[in-house]
């Protein structure tokens, strides 16, 4: 359901960004905070076991630990450097380096949480992981990015280098709802929002992405060095709209698997 993602590139990108992620991930942290509130509203009983898929530096796990101090916490991430930071921040949690597309667990979870990570994966495979790991009646609560994300960058590249792949077309809200239904999940709530932080220069805009590791990891991406002329055209087109902004289309879903 997703264009090919180069998982080795994803791991490299986020490992390089481990030290800068938390200062730059303003949008991702806002998404996590809102998702945590949706989680608390949807739960009828406190969960005793929680799995965070794509836990990154542990930002969401810290909040989950505060809200549910008695729960057993497990964090899964592809990046060893992200996990190293998470271990320092949430020492009582268990951490596993791995891919959420094929994760397996001997024990079930009452809640699976995932913030701003699923867009790097095949959605059907992640939903299968959630089904296999959830206890009967457990919740799968997650957020992702929609196709409107970073459309300013896609526009600038299309003008500077037509026909070349420089971005990923993320799944839309209907794609997610259809996949959840096909996998037997009951969707309790879903939401689509737009967030558009402003920047002073194209360079600062691009830096905000690089510092979170969220650069292009498509297996179809253009590889090799760009000419200075092409990159200069890209920066020129990127900086033309005033005020300069970077759009994020955020999607969130609260789903129950009857089991």
Q: Residues 6 or more apart from 182 whose CB is under 8 A from it?
A: 124
User: Given this model, what pLDDT does residue 217 score?
Assistant: 47
Range 177-196 average pLDDT: 97
User: Given this model, what pLDDT does residue 240 score?
Assistant: 86
Range 113-137 average pLDDT: 96
**Cα separation, 50 vs 40, whole angstroms:** 13
pTM over 0.85: yes
**Cα separation, 120 vs 218, whole angstroms:** 9
Range 231-259 average pLDDT: 92
**255 three-class SS:** strand
* Least confident piece of the model among 5-9, 138-142, 155-159: 5-9
**Cα separation, 208 vs 214, whole angstroms:** 9
Is the pLDDT score of 225 beyond 90?
Answer: no
Q: Residues 6 or more apart from 105 whose CB is under 8 A from it?
A: 51, 74, 132, 133
User: Given this model, what pLDDT does residue 224 score?
Assistant: 53
User: Which residues are 144's β-sheet partners?
Assistant: 251
Is the pLDDT score of 128 beyond 70?
Answer: yes
pLDDT tens digits for range 57-93: 999 999 999 999 999 999 999 999 999 999 999 999 9
Tokens of 89: 């921040």
Q: Give long-range contacts, CB 8 A cutoff, 24+ apart: 156-160.
A: 156/234, 156/235, 156/237, 156/238, 157/234, 159/233, 159/234, 159/237, 160/230, 160/231, 160/233, 160/234, 160/236, 160/237
31 contacts 149 by C-beta, under 8 angstroms: no
User: Given this model, what pLDDT does residue 216 score?
Assistant: 60
Is the pLDDT score of 169 beyond 50?
Answer: yes
Q: Residues 6 or more apart from 43 whose CB is under 8 A from it?
A: 111, 139
Tokens of 71: 């729960």
**Cα separation, 118 vs 156, whole angstroms:** 25
Is the pLDDT score of 151 beyond 60?
Answer: yes
């Amino acid at each position: 359901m997703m264009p090919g993602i180069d998982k080795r590139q994803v791991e490299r990108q986020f490992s390089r960004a481990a030290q800068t992620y938390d200062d730059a991930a303003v949008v991702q942290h806002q998404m996590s905070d809102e998702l945590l509130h949706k989680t608390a509203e949807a739960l009828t009983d406190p969960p005793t076991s929680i799995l965070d898929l794509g836990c990154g530096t542990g930002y969401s796990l810290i909040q989950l630990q505060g809200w549910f101090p008695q729960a057993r916490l497990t964090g899964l991430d592809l990046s060893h450097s992200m996990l190293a930071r998470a271990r320092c921040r949430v020492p009582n949690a268990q951490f596993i380096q791995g891919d959420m597309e094929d994760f397996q667990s001997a024990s079930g979870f009452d809640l699976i949480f995932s913030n701003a990570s699923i867009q790097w994966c095949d959605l059907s495979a992640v939903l299968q992981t959630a089904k296999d790991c959830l206890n009967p009646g457990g919740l799968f609560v997650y957020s992702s990015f929609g196709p409107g994300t970073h459309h300013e960058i896609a526009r600038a590249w299309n003008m500077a280098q037509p026909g070349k792949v420089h971005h990923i077309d993320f799944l839309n809200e209907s794609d997610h709802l259809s996949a959840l239904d096909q996998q037997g999940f009951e969707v309790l709530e879903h939401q689509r929002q737009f967030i558009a932080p402003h920047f002073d220069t194209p360079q600062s805009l691009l830096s905000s992405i690089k510092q979170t590791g969220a650069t292009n990891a498509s297996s179809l991406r253009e590889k090799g060095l760009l000419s200075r002329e092409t990159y200069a055209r890209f920066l020129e087109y990127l900086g033309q709209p005033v005020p300069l902004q970077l759009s994020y289309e955020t999607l969130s879903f609260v789903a129950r698997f009857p089991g």
